[in-house]
Amino acid sequence: MKGLIPAAGKGTRMEPFTNAYPKELLPVGEKAVIHHAIEDMKEAGITDITIVVGWKQHAIIDYLGSGEELGVQLTYVVQDDRDGLAGAVKAGEHVIGDETFAVILGDNYVDDKRAMPDLVDFHQENGLEATIGAFCPDDVTSYGVIDGEDGIVNGLVEKPSEGEAPSDLAISGMYVFEPSIFDAIEKIGTGAGGEYQLTDAIDKMREDGEKVGYREIKGDRIDVGTPERLREANREYDLRD
Ligand code: G1P
């Protein structure tokens, strides 16, 4: 299995830091948040990892290099049009090829190393085409939201307005995909925020009859998209086992 980590966005809510660096280099403990994402991949035995870069890409490449020091092999691809997460995943298609792959968003910190291996096992044991790592946030409206039952997804909504959310279960930023996700990405138009949303592509797979599942991830996860969440991620890191 391969891995893909989207890390191309600017992170406007973390300006002015992100005027100089991508948000994936924000530190959680002594390491950049994307460094933790790579370690999560390694826990699941995934060492062939594609990093999708864009904004301030050289800072990420300077930090991670070839991946050798981290015990992984990294390939960098550039997302030219930063028009959404679906485009970031699509940018990696030529490197992923025809293989199953895991995704962790490069700004996500997860405090339990079992999260990724558990998600990969769930995907494979259930013969799924796409598996979404799920979690229950205080407010679902800033996430993708899952309408599901018993691990099977019946619908997805990206950043619903209050009252429109089908449940309190949100998309965590950890996924496992079969390569059919690439065809689904080609079929979607722009969605929430005028961007090409990965959530819409996964929902398209489901509409087309492919088996899409979800699994609550082990541990707590936080994306470092705002100053408050960055502080929270560091608090979680300090409290980890
Ligand atoms: C992205 C996804 C969203 C998911 C979130 C998790 O949103 O589109 O479905 O819930 O990551 O961090 P973003 O944070 O890029 O707005």
> Would you say the CB of residue 171 lies under 6 angstroms from ligand 1?
yes
3-state helix/strand/coil string of the chain: CEEEEEECCCCHHHCCHHHHCCHHHCEECCEEHHHHHHHHHHHCCCCEEEEEECCCHHHHHHHHCCCHHHCCEEEEEECCCCCCHHHHHHHCHHHHCCCCEEEECCCEEECCCCHHHHHHHHHHHCCCCEEEEEECCCCHHHCEEEEEECCEEEEEEECCCCCCCCCCCEEEEEEEECCHHHHHHHHCCCCHHHCCCHHHHHHHHHHCCCCEEEEECCCCEEECCCHHHHHHHHHHHHHCC
Cα(124) to centroid of ligand 1, in Å?
24
Determine whether the shortest distance from the Cβ of 105 to ligand 1 is under 6 A.
Answer: yes
Ligand 1 contact, 225 CB (< 6 A): yes
For residue range 158-168, list pLDDT tens digits in order.
Answer: 999 989 999 99
Domains of the chain, earliest start first:
2-221 (3.90.550.10)
Whether the CB-CB separation of 40 and 113 falls below 8 Å is answered with yes
Ligand 1 neighbourhood includes 200 CB (under 6 angstroms):
no
Say what the pLDDT of residue 82 is. Answer: 83
Asked whether the whole model's pTM tops 0.85, one would answer yes
**Nearest residue CA, atom 9 of ligand 1?**
144
Q: Supply the pLDDT for residue 10.
A: 86
Task: Give the nearest ligand 1 atom to 192 CA.
Answer: 8
Report the separation in Å between the CA atom of 144 and the middle of ligand 1, taken as the mean of its atom positions: 6
Q: pLDDT truncated to tens, each residue of the chain (241 aa)? A: 999 999 999 889 999 999 999 999 999 999 999 999 999 999 999 999 999 999 999 999 999 999 999 999 999 999 988 899 999 999 999 999 999 999 999 999 999 999 999 999 999 999 999 999 999 999 999 999 999 999 999 999 999 998 999 999 999 999 999 999 999 999 999 999 999 999 999 999 999 999 999 999 999 999 999 999 999 999 999 988 6
Question: Quick one: which atom of ligand 1 is closest to the CA of 108?
Answer: 12
pLDDT of amino acid 240: 83
Cβ(25) to ligand 1 under 6 A?
A: no
Mind listing the pLDDT tens digit for each residue in 83-126? 999 999 999 999 999 999 999 999 999 999 999 999 999 999 99
